[in-house]
Amino acid sequence: MKKIKYKRILLKLSGESLMGDREYGIDPKVVTRYSEEIASVSKLNVQIGIVIGGGNIYRGMESSTDGIDKVTGDHMGMLATVINALALQNSLEHQGLKTRCLSAINMERIAEPFIRRRAIRHLEKGRIVIFAAGTGNPYFTTDTAAVLRAIEIEADVIIKGTRVDGVYDSDPEKNSKAIHFPEISYTDVLKKDLRIMDLTAITLSKENKLPLVVFNMNIRGNLRRVICGEAVGSKVVELSA
């Protein structure tokens, strides 16, 4: 078996990534492809937690122009993450994987309530744990929820799957001369205002010395390469003084 660098990970996926080429909603082909990637990593006996956003269905805090107040909008966004979590859970189970969906909002008929010790126990038993409904509180993004859950389950790393090959000084999809950072400190991320995650998530990661790997999830095999410690994407760490 190939040697792995990370034993327990928290994978963060955006809701938008599930859209594929669609304008909104879920593209089953994308969900299946992601499930195949996750299954290949699971076979390495890696313990996997997942947080997924809901932006493909509803963006809470950014949807203030539709007449819905931010708190209500954020609650709607949390429910959108549950829809995505259930879709991913179903797809993962079609890959033969054992899963559990844990929600920060009580909805026992479709998901277990989030309990830290229960989540860790599921991971230890080899189940993939999908954390839904963000933190359960308005004004917190799923990036912050991902960092919080990673810290709570004592993950070795948080891995953020995106559409680009890591961290750049500007958007590489708009600027062909954007500079790529193979490794960068959280301090520099904040100084350069790179916005790979929101400020709360970055600060929480920095304070807890949680490594972050940002990579292109749409390239087959990339997730496995990250787990095995290959130089894929960008690594964000709090460098020692």
pLDDT score, position 241: 47
pLDDT score, position 186: 94
Q: Which two tokens stand for residue 178?
A: 């954007």
**Contact criterion met (CB below 8 Å) for 34 and 61:** no
pLDDT score, position 61: 47
Tell me how far apart the alpha carbons of residues 18 and 104 are, in angstroms, rounded to a whole number: 21
pLDDT score, position 24: 87
Domain ranges of the chain: 8-237
pLDDT score, position 144: 97
Q: Where are the beta strands (DSSP E) in the chain?
A: 8-13, 47-52, 99-103, 112-113, 128-132, 157-162, 167-168, 180-181, 183-185, 212-216, 234-237
Q: Which of 55, 48, 44 is nearest to 17 (CA)?
A: 55
Domain at 8-237: CATH code: 3.40.1160.10
Tens digit of pLDDT per residue, the chain (241 long)?
568 999 999 999 999 999 988 888 999 999 999 999 999 999 999 999 999 999 999 865 454 556 788 899 999 999 999 999 999 999 999 999 999 999 999 999 999 999 999 999 999 999 999 999 999 999 999 999 999 999 999 999 999 999 889 999 998 989 989 999 999 999 999 999 998 999 999 999 999 999 999 999 999 999 999 999 999 999 999 865 4
Q: Which of 154, 153, 241, 134 is nearest to 198 (CA)?
A: 134
Question: Please, what is the angle between helix 142-152 and helix 116-124, to 10°?
Answer: 70
